[in-house]
Structure 1
Amino acid sequence: MIQNDYPFPGRQVKKLLLSGAMLLGLATTVQAQDSASSKIPFDGIETNWQNGSDRRDSSVFHGKYFIPTIMLDMNYTHSFNNPNDNTVVGSTALARNNEVQLSQLSFGGDFTYQNARARFLMQFGTRSQVVPRNDLSPYRGQYQLANVYRYLSEAYAGYHINKWYGINVDAGLFMSYIGLNSYYQTENWEYQASYTSDNTPWFFNGIRIQIFPSKTLKIEPWIINGWQSYGKFNSMPGLGANITWNPTNSFKLLTNDYYGTDAAGLPHRYRFHSDNSLQIRYVNKPDSKGISKAAFSLTGDLGFEKGDGVNGFKDDPVKGPAQYFLSAMFYNRIWFAKNKFAWTIGGGLMNNPGRYLVLYPTGQASPLPDPNNPTQTEGKFPFSANPGDQFHAWDASTNLDYMPNQSILFRLEFVHRHADVPYFAGPGGVTSQTGYTTSVLDPNWRPDLVNSEDRIILALLFRL
């Protein structure tokens, strides 16, 4: 998801400033940025067209020691299924239907002093509930870790080493890159992410080392608590790495790979996951009143779990059924009218036997999973996620963006999603027969889940 590819937190803004310094008169500000190293990774390479990257080419903020960040994400979405409780199922971007929602308010920034560095971003809004609810690691041991961390999207500190094009050693809470999309919607081509992105992790908690051996290459190992987990599910930490190669203004290739034990109470069940993306810009005419830019992104994921009753890609009568994840997503984006408008179309598909990466339907008449059984999905009528349970799904979307300047974006999006099992909220909702969570239920009531949904999303995305 979001990537900080620069030796200092301020390097990203420094790179933005460099690209527009002559035009905006910011040369003095650029010089005031950290000067510990004259080698800047990806210097001169345009990244603001890429899916999952900051689209700005300059910043209104500048400073020697601190550069602030402010982001606001508002949305309104309508599901044509019209669930009576307004609950959105199977999304980390959306929470409520037919209501204007503050999805995310983030503020914070980047600190630098000599070679010391730190970054923090607070987060408020529905995402501070929707994303942490998928982490069940707090049920191992004491303390409500989800509540402790839920209002932080990023919080880490580290040290920069002046070697090659820079080496950073950071510890704390940082964004995942698995699934290409950024955690911050203002950086994405689409609002409702495809399954490949929405069903993979948004954050990591641990240690990362960013190594820039050349101007166009980043190698980043991770030692983390686990797969989108504030704590550890078992005794083994998660291990992984990102490799990003961005040799030109129009080409980017990356891979993310992960290995860990992430099934609660099953210490001998191992997970491997490989996520790979290609991005190509095939038109670039920034002054054109017609098509000014065009690009596509292609992402493919492959993963599996093995041990403690499941057996990777192959059913076995002794070791257990297959449990794996195969997915892909493709998006094409065309900018026009000097990049003031953009049209995106795309979608993806997912095959996930065992459903170990499926976002479980929300609510279902009970607010929390059973703490004595952390492998059970949420609700009084939990969505089945047993070994051997099949899940095949696909989605398609298209949107139109209006971008009067680089700090604000208005988006109108249509999304269709389908699954081969009842999964999305139907007219009866998923929390109770009366449309809200209650312990007094009609004994004949069940969550109303259906196989598909169509929805419209209106979003206002602001970044400064």
Structure 2
Amino acid sequence: MSFTSARRAGLTAAALLTLTTSAALAQTTETGAAHNPAAKPDSSATGAKVPFDGMDLTWINGQNRQTTFPLVLKDQNGETVLTGTALLDGYFNYNFARPVDHTQTISAVTGRTNEFSLALASAGIESNYKNIIGRLWVQTGSMLHVIQETDGSVLRGRNAGTGNLKFIREAAAGYHFNKAYGLNVELGIFMSYIGLESYVMQENWSYQRSLVCDFTPFYFQGARVQFYPSRKFKTELWLMNGWQTYNSFNRQPAIGNSNYFRPSENLQLVANFYYGNDSRPGTDSLAVGRAGYPDVIRFHHDNSIVARYYHKPKMGPLRGITQAAFSLNTHYGFQSGEGVKAAHNYMVGSSLANRVWFNQNKMAFTARAGFVKNPSRYLSFSPSVVGFTDPDASKLTAKELTGTFDYMPSDFVTFRVEYLHRSANVPYFAGPGGTTSPSGYADQPLPAGYTPDLRKTEDRAILSVNFRL
């Protein structure tokens, strides 16, 4: 499952505010923070080779839309030492089914329904001072229960719990080398590079993430190398413990690759790849491979196109409309081995969104449609942790339609209203009876034959407010 902190590849606030110094030529460490058009560097004057130089990327789906960063600490020479960020995100999620247990299922952001919730509160600092890369973000909020607590790798041995790590959103250390347009080497906990939409809702065009992004990773623990061979291209190589795991299930690490190409500020092309062994060894020796881990492999690929096809900052012929763009994010992956073939154990899906800004970019409306097919359900969320025995759910295909209206009076706050309709070919979404117990309370003994109340459709309305400084 979609941590990119900004979750996707852009330039950090610290890097952007120090681009005119030789130490910050390409220190792009926080994946997903957007380029700051208010601080466009004069690279010709400094001789700096700056990736994506002069590009305004704040409109891109999955990118930070901030243009100013007020929490900056500088040294006596005016060079940025630290950049700080604080954010809060709260919502009221109204599920028209009104589940008795107030549990929202099939979502990594809205874990509760028909009540006010704090999804995420986070604060962090990052530095690119004199080529040294350092970053620490801490977090809390209801999303942590949905995302990190599904990490089964913590059961391998001791000293592997998520009790403390889940409060770290991102923590990494590394070094920037002045090679080509930048070379960064880092180790730590990172936001995921897979998918388009961000872990931070302010960066996305919709509040509820698409199904294909919700079913893919939000974080990795490992190491990465970022290389910018040219001003318009970035590639990354990753070595990780596993698919959204703090620890490793076995002896084989996962590997990954991410590629971003921006021929202009109006177009972004992305291709991401993942290959790993994310299965737990079985108790039967026949289920264990020669190296002591199961012969099961997982491959995942996603690609995206984000294009701005209309841009008139001072309002053009379409009265009131300042810009318009679309994004298309497509996924394909499979898991195979131990007698299971990829043809029966795969995930495929796509999400198409179109966004229109108006009123000098202070308002926007996004329409989105998507689907996901995951026959064996090796990636999709389980609709209930108890009493879920429906064999037909292994043939899952789900679809979604979303409409989102944003009011953004400043860089630092977003008010959002969203309506979401989802459907599936099998009962998959929570109904009025909920998915916990007949009374809705988790401490009630379950009567014999209890089954969760699942329906084929879901309709929700979401009100949210987020603050980011």
> What TM-score do the two structures reach when normalised by structure 2?
0.87
Q: Which amino acid aligns with 2:102?
A: N
Residue number among 367, 380, 387 corresponding to 1:381 in the alignment: 387
Q: 1:383 to 1:10 in 2, by over 3 A?
A: farther
- Tell me, yes or no, if the aligned pair for 1:5 and 1:41 is still in contact at 8 Å: no
Residues 1:142 and 2:152 are matched in the alignment: no
Residues 1:49 and 2:59 are matched in the alignment: yes
Give the superposition deviation at 1:17: 8.2
Aligned positions of 1:185-334 closer than 5 A: 185-265=201-281, 267-288=294-315, 290-313=320-343, 322-334=344-356
Q: Which amino acid aligns with 2:239?
A: I
Give the structure 2 partner of residue 180 of structure 1. Answer: 196
Give the structure 2 partner of residue 92 of structure 1. Answer: 108
- Tell me, yes or no, if the aligned pair for 2:416 and 2:463 is still in contact at 8 Å: yes
Q: 1:304 to 1:141 in 2, by over 3 A?
A: same
Question: Structure 2 CA distance, aligned partners of 1:339 and 1:225?
Answer: 41
State the Cα RMSD in Å: 2.1
Aligned positions of 1:16-27 closer than 5 A: 19-21=37-39
Question: Structure 2 CA distance, aligned partners of 1:40 and 1:189?
Answer: 27
Residues 306-351 of structure 1, C-alpha deviation per residue, up to 9 Å, x if partnerless?
A: 10131002xxxxxxxx101111110000001111110000121111
Residues 349-397 of structure 1, C-alpha deviation per residue, up to 9 Å, x if partnerless?
A: 11111100111124xxxxxxxxxxxxxxxx34246689x9211111110
Give the structure 2 partner of residue 27 of structure 1. Answer: none
Give the structure 2 partner of residue 316 of structure 1. Answer: none
Question: Structure 1 CA distance, aligned partners of 2:222 and 2:13?
Answer: 18
Give the superposition deviation at 1:124: 0.6
- Tell me, yes or no, if the aligned pair for 1:333 and 1:343 is still in contact at 8 Å: yes
Give the structure 2 partner of residue 407 of structure 1. Answer: 412
- Tell me, yes or no, if the aligned pair for 1:251 and 1:279 is still in contact at 8 Å: yes
- Tell me, yes or no, if the aligned pair for 1:61 and 1:67 is still in contact at 8 Å: yes
Question: Structure 2 CA distance, aligned partners of 1:447 and 1:14?
Answer: 54
Question: Structure 1 CA distance, aligned partners of 2:383 and 2:225?
Answer: 36
Q: Which amino acid aligns with 1:458?
A: L
Aligned positions of 1:306-455 closer than 5 A: 306-313=336-343, 322-362=344-384, 379-382=385-388, 389-455=394-460
Q: 1:384 to 1:136 in 2, by over 3 A?
A: farther
Give the superposition deviation at 1:411: 0.4
Give the structure 1 partner of residue 50 of structure 2. Answer: 40
Q: Secondary structure of 1:114's partner? A: helix
Q: Secondary structure of 2:14's partner? A: helix
Question: Structure 2 CA distance, aligned partners of 1:303 and 1:385?
Answer: 22
Moved more, 322-331 or 145-154: 145-154
Question: Structure 1 CA distance, aligned partners of 2:35 and 2:364?
Answer: 24
- Tell me, yes or no, if the aligned pair for 1:160 and 1:166 is still in contact at 8 Å: yes
Give the superposition deviation at 1:19: 2.5
Give the structure 1 partner of residue 127 of structure 2. Answer: 111
Residues 292-317 of structure 1, C-alpha deviation per residue, up to 9 Å, x if partnerless?
A: 0100000111111110131002xxxx
Question: Structure 2 CA distance, aligned partners of 1:383 and 1:359?
Answer: 14
> What TM-score do the two structures reach when normalised by structure 1?
0.88
Question: Structure 2 CA distance, aligned partners of 1:460 and 1:451?
Answer: 29
Q: Secondary structure of 2:149's partner? A: helix
Give the superposition deviation at 1:188: 0.2
Residues 134-156 of structure 1, C-alpha deviation per residue, up to 9 Å, x if partnerless?
A: 22111222235222211111111
- Tell me, yes or no, if the aligned pair for 1:90 and 1:359 is still in contact at 8 Å: yes
- Tell me, yes or no, if the aligned pair for 1:4 and 1:12 is still in contact at 8 Å: no
Residues 1:11 and 2:8 are matched in the alignment: no
Residues 395-445 of structure 1, C-alpha deviation per residue, up to 9 Å, x if partnerless?
A: 110011000011110000000111112111111111111111025222243
- Tell me, yes or no, if the aligned pair for 1:234 and 1:264 is still in contact at 8 Å: yes
Residues 1:159 and 2:163 are matched in the alignment: no
Q: Which amino acid aligns with 1:148?
A: N
Question: Structure 2 CA distance, aligned partners of 1:344 and 1:192?
Answer: 12
Question: Structure 1 CA distance, aligned partners of 2:456 and 2:407?
Answer: 32
- Unaligned runs of 5+ residues in structure 1 are 23-29, 314-321, 363-378
Question: Structure 2 CA distance, aligned partners of 1:9 and 1:158?
Answer: 17
- Tell me, yes or no, if the aligned pair for 2:211 and 2:372 is still in contact at 8 Å: yes
Moved more, 351-360 or 281-290: 281-290
Residues 167-225 of structure 1, C-alpha deviation per residue, up to 9 Å, x if partnerless?
A: 11010111112120011001000011111111011111100100011111101000001
- Tell me, yes or no, if the aligned pair for 1:17 and 1:58 is still in contact at 8 Å: no
- Tell me, yes or no, if the aligned pair for 2:240 and 2:254 is still in contact at 8 Å: yes
Give the superposition deviation at 1:14: 4.9
Q: Which amino acid aligns with 1:85?
A: D
Q: Secondary structure of 2:361's partner? A: coil
Q: Secondary structure of 1:270's partner? A: strand
Q: 1:86 to 1:200 in 2, by over 3 A?
A: same
Give the superposition deviation at 1:238: 0.7
Give the structure 1 partner of residue 147 of structure 2. Answer: 131
Q: Which amino acid aligns with 2:306?
A: Q
Q: Secondary structure of 1:129's partner? A: helix
- Tell me, yes or no, if the aligned pair for 1:360 and 1:383 is still in contact at 8 Å: no
- Unaligned runs of 5+ residues in structure 2 are 20-33, 74-79, 283-293
- Tell me, yes or no, if the aligned pair for 1:348 and 1:396 is still in contact at 8 Å: yes
- Tell me, yes or no, if the aligned pair for 1:328 and 1:350 is still in contact at 8 Å: yes
Question: Structure 1 CA distance, aligned partners of 2:205 and 2:17?
Answer: 21
Give the superposition deviation at 1:263: 2.1
Give the structure 2 partner of residue 58 of structure 1. Answer: 68
- Tell me, yes or no, if the aligned pair for 1:13 and 1:58 is still in contact at 8 Å: no
